[in-house]
């Protein structure tokens, strides 16, 4: 009999404790006006404290609102006074140097050390618009082959967009004589040069011979 009574009392105590614990969770509430926000938008946060009594000095104090990023860093923390009916509301701008991560952000609200609530929302970083300047055919500066050829120096010509040396170069007026490079012309000039030397030698020998005869006479 005693065992049955102890079991009944334990069940009653546990049920009451469970009801108190879950009732405490509903004392403080918090919500946002949207489940996701983009960079630059305003986050509307609102909620209430159900057992708030303005005349009670043990309950008449502000709620603390803390915003935590996905990596655990605290983005913002502030205290908001309650209205006479226990409600509260505030705005948090979704912008600034601490808004670096995409993902779920958590808003925690506490009224005292053991009375709190929380909610989450998704933050989306705005895509930066990268301006890619595409060069069209009309914007390309076309250079004619004649203009390119003008840039080649003397003795060179334009070939496949590059300046290359000429294979043969004709002598310009006033320039020194240069022997032709073809085989036939080289042979011809060699024969003429040899005959000229032979003719010069004959003239020298003739003059020497004539001088000797003059002395003998």
Q: Residue 200: helix, strand or coil by DSSP?
A: helix
Read out DSSP for 143-190? --HHHHHHTS-TTEEEETTEEEE-S--PPPTTSPP----SHHHHHHHH
Instruction: Specify whether the CB–CB gap between 43 and 91 falls below 8 A.
Output: yes
Task: Name residue 157's beta-bridge partners.
Answer: 164
What span, in angstroms and rounded, lies between the C-alpha atoms of 75 and 125? 15
Question: What Rg, from alpha-carbon coordinates, does the chain have?
Answer: 53
Q: Which two tokens stand for residue 182?
A: 């073809």
Q: Residue 206 phi/psi, 5° resolution? A: -65, -45
Q: Quick: pLDDT tens for 5-64.
A: 444 445 455 444 444 444 445 799 999 999 999 999 999 999 999 988 888 888 888 999
Q: Quick: pLDDT tens for 178-216.
A: 444 455 666 777 787 788 888 888 888 888 877 776 666
Q: Quick: pLDDT tens for 137-176.
A: 444 445 556 666 666 666 676 676 667 667 655 545 544 4
Q: Quick: pLDDT tens for 23-37.
A: 445 799 999 999 999
Instruction: Specify whether the CB–CB gap between 146 and 157 falls below 8 A.
Output: no
Q: Residue 14: what pLDDT?
A: 47
Model confidence at 114, pLDDT cuts 50, 70, 90, reads: confident
Domains within the chain, CATH numbers bracketed: 26-124 (2.60.40.1930), 143-198 (no CATH)
What span, in angstroms and rounded, lies between the C-alpha atoms of 102 and 100? 7
DSSP label at residue 72:
S
Read out DSSP for 86-151? SEEEEEEES-STT----EEEEEEEESSSS-EEEEEEEEEPPPP-----PPPGGGS----HHHHHHT
Q: Residue 110: what pLDDT?
A: 94
Task: Name residue 67's beta-bridge partners.
Answer: 76, 107
H or E, element range at 11: helix 2-25
Q: Residue 191: what pLDDT?
A: 81
Q: Residue 113: what pLDDT?
A: 82
From 112, 85, 92, 95, select the one nearest 44 (Cα to Cα). Answer: 92
What span, in angstroms and rounded, lies between the C-alpha atoms of 186 and 183? 5
What span, in angstroms and rounded, lies between the C-alpha atoms of 46 and 28? 11
């Amino acid at each position: 009999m005693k065992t049955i009574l102890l079991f009944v009392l334990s069940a009653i105590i546990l049920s009451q404790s469970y009801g108190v614990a879950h009732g405490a969770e509903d004392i403080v509430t918090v919500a946002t006006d949207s489940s996701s926000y983009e960079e630059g938008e305003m986050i509307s946060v609102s909620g209430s404290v159900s057992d708030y009594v303005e005349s009670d000095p043990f309950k008449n104090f502000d709620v603390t609102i803390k915003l935590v990023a996905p990596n655990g860093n605290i983005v913002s923390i502030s205290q908001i006074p309650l209205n006479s009916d226990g409600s509260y509301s505030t705005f948090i701008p979704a912008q600034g140097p601490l808004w670096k991560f995409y993902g779920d952000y958590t808003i925690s609200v506490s009224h005292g050390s053991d009375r709190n609530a929380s909610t989450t929302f998704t933050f989306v970083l705005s895509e930066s618009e990268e301006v890619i300047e595409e060069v069209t055919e009309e914007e390309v500066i076309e250079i004619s082959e004649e203009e390119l050829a003008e840039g080649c120096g003397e003795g060179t010509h334009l070939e496949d967009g590059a300046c290359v040396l000429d294979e043969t170069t004709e002598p310009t007026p006033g320039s020194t004589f240069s022997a032709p490079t073809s085989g036939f012309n080289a042979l011809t000039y060699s024969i003429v040069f040899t005959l000229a030397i032979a003719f010069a030698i004959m003239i020298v020998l003739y003059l020497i011979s004539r001088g000797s005869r003059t002395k003998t006479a």
